[in-house]
Amino acid sequence: MRIYMDLCCFNRPYDDQTQTRIRIETEAKITIQQKIKDAECELLWSAILDLECSFNPVTAHRLAIMNWRAEACAQILIDDTVLEAAQRLLASGIGEYDALHAACASVGQADLFVSTDDRLLRRLQAVGGLTAMLPQDALAVMEGMKTDAEIRMAGMQALIGALGLVETERFLMAVSREAFDYTEWRRHHLPAMPMEELARRANIESKNLMQQEVHDWGT
């Protein structure tokens, strides 16, 4: 099974975990990623993921997400086929970035498109042709999901083992102060540009990263 996750999904662990929905989606997303690591499914990557991630204002989050690029089974650059598919989605009322994400997933033959953006999912489901769903719904078609209690216990044990009891409490207090929602942030802060320019810049971002990877392997 081939999975495409957009940046709303990739950023879910860094959103406000005091909200029950966000926490559930985060746990489902992380479980899917474990299945990718265990080779139970494949991750599809794209040039638009590279470009949008480069705009992420939080450096630590951006770097953590980009590590998943190396786990992908395929990298989709934006060619005429992708652009044509994206233009059709754009005509259906889907925004430029989201249209390119969905088009890359479709051209890359993704079995599941995973997002936490309800508005996007509704529009994609109305258009048809791409199976688009929330992380927990995507996980429902796959096997094996850890319970909330198991994840909380493992996380607390890891934190206590690494930080001790007092520092663990200080860490949890610091995390709970940050009420950040990437899905909401991207609606207002991603730079607006025509589809063709977005595609051009996305391909440049991907090719630069590929060249850097080749350089790193040679050193």
pLDDT digits (tens, 9 = 90+) for 11-41: 999 999 999 999 999 999 999 999 999 999 9
- Residue 73 CB partners (closer than 8 Å, separation 6+): 2, 42, 43, 44
Is position 98 within any domain? yes
Q: Alpha carbon of 146 to those of 18, 34, 81: distances in Å? A: 19, 11, 39
What's the chain's average pLDDT?
A: 89
Is position 38 within any domain? yes
Indicate the pTM of the whole model.
0.72
| 147 pLDDT above the threshold of 60 | no
* Counted domains in the chain: 1
Sign of CA dihedral 5, 66, 88, 107: negative
Which of 1-10, 102-111, 201-210 shows the lowest mean pLDDT across its residues?
201-210
So what's the pLDDT on residue 149? 46
So what's the pLDDT on residue 141? 76
Is position 99 within any domain? yes
Q: Which residue has the tokens 């934190």?
A: 159
Over residues 70-95, mean pLDDT? 95
Is position 101 within any domain? yes
Is position 174 within any domain? no
Over residues 69-77, mean pLDDT? 96
Is position 185 within any domain? yes
Q: Which structural domain, as residue segments, surrounds residue 87?
A: 2-145+180-214
Is position 55 within any domain? yes
| 89 pLDDT above the threshold of 60 | yes
| 77 pLDDT above the threshold of 80 | yes
Q: How confident is the model at residue 174 (pLDDT cuts 50, 70, 90)?
A: confident
Over residues 192-202, mean pLDDT? 92
Residue (of 176, 12, 188) closest to 97 by Cα position: 188
CATH code for the domain in which residue 92 is found: 3.40.50.1010
Contact 103, 83 (CB under 8 A): yes
Is position 167 within any domain? no
